[in-house]
Amino acid sequence: MTQPIHCLLIDDDLDDRDFFNQALKTIDKNINFHYSSTAADALDKLKSGELSPHYIFLDLNMMPVNGLDCLKQIKKIAKVVDVPVIIYSTSINEEIKYHTLEAGAFDHFEKPSDQASLIKYLKRILQIKK
């Protein structure tokens, strides 16, 4: 039996978190969904070891600490330095891609309006063949 996948979504929007969680549960009910609504909360949980996700999905448009600054801080935490961080944000342009890749992002995915697109992307990233 394989270990369950743990995904962390760092996003301050409740509707976006629910949408993401529903997509994960559609793929596989055994995927563990964790979230933080602020960068500070996520960083505290990651530093303490309370969370040890396999994947981190990160919104850029948060306050008071934005996603890019959060990404830079995540990459300083030894316990999760090798965990792929996927930028999951409303609008992603070439400049954002450049800066986030430079800071250690693994990939980018613009928030879709339909769940089918999100499910397709998540299956690819999480390497789920179902």
pLDDT in tens, 7-24: 999 999 999 999 999 999
Contact 45, 36 (CB under 8 A): yes
Domains delineated in the chain: 6-126 (3.40.50.2300)
25-49 pLDDT, tens digit each: 999 999 999 999 999 999 999 999 9
- Average pLDDT over the chain, rounded to an integer: 94
Q: Model pTM?
A: 0.95
Q: Using alpha carbons, select from 16, 24, 36 the residue that is nearest to residue 122.
A: 24
DSSP assignments along 60-83, one per residue: S--SSS-HHHHHHHHTT-GGGTTS
pLDDT at res. 91: 87
Mean pLDDT to the nearest integer, 79-83:
96
User: pLDDT of 82-109, one tens digit each?
Assistant: 999 999 999 899 999 999 999 999 999 9
